[in-house]
Amino acid sequence: MISLVLDVIGGALLLIGLLLLTIGILGVLRLPDTLSQLHAQGIATGPGVIAIFASSVATENAVIITFAVLGIAFVAFTSPVSGHAIARAAHHRGNQSETQNNWNTFDE
């Protein structure tokens, strides 16, 4: 019984994770400039990987779940930091794209 429930929860989390990864890739493929692409990439690198790690509950293996929790903690810490570093570099270099987005009006 509990195994079935864990299977369903793990499958749903896996589906959510794959969906978020797909949305992130499509966003990076379609969006025009660096900061917009960073917005789409943050969806894949943060919540997408966390959902895929969290789907390890369906394996019912203590070693796998422990390392998945470690991975979740690590990704939740590092994904915003790397996104912030890329955004600061993009803001500093200026926006060379031909779109109407005028990001450089923001102060740092």
The tokens for 93 are 């270099």
d(CA 53, CA 67): 9
Query: Is residue 4 a contact point for another protein (CB under 8 A)?
Result: no
Query: Is residue 14 a contact point for another protein (CB under 8 A)?
Result: yes
Site for another protein in 52-71 (CB under 8 A): 52-53, 55-56, 58-59, 61, 63-64, 66-68, 70-71
Query: Is residue 101 a contact point for another protein (CB under 8 A)?
Result: no
Q: Which residues of 31-55 are buried (b: 16+ CB within 10 A; e: fewer)?
A: beebbbbbebbbbbbbbbbbbbbbb
Q: Which amino acid is at 101?
A: N
The tokens for 43 are 């969806």
The tokens for 53 are 């790690």
**Closer residue to another protein (CB): 94 or 105:** 94
* Contacts to another protein by CB under 8 A: 7, 10-11, 14, 17-18, 21-22, 24-25, 28-29, 34, 37-38, 41, 44-45, 48-49, 52-53, 55-56, 58-59, 61, 63-64, 66-68, 70-71, 74-75, 78, 81-82, 85-86, 88-90, 92-93, 96
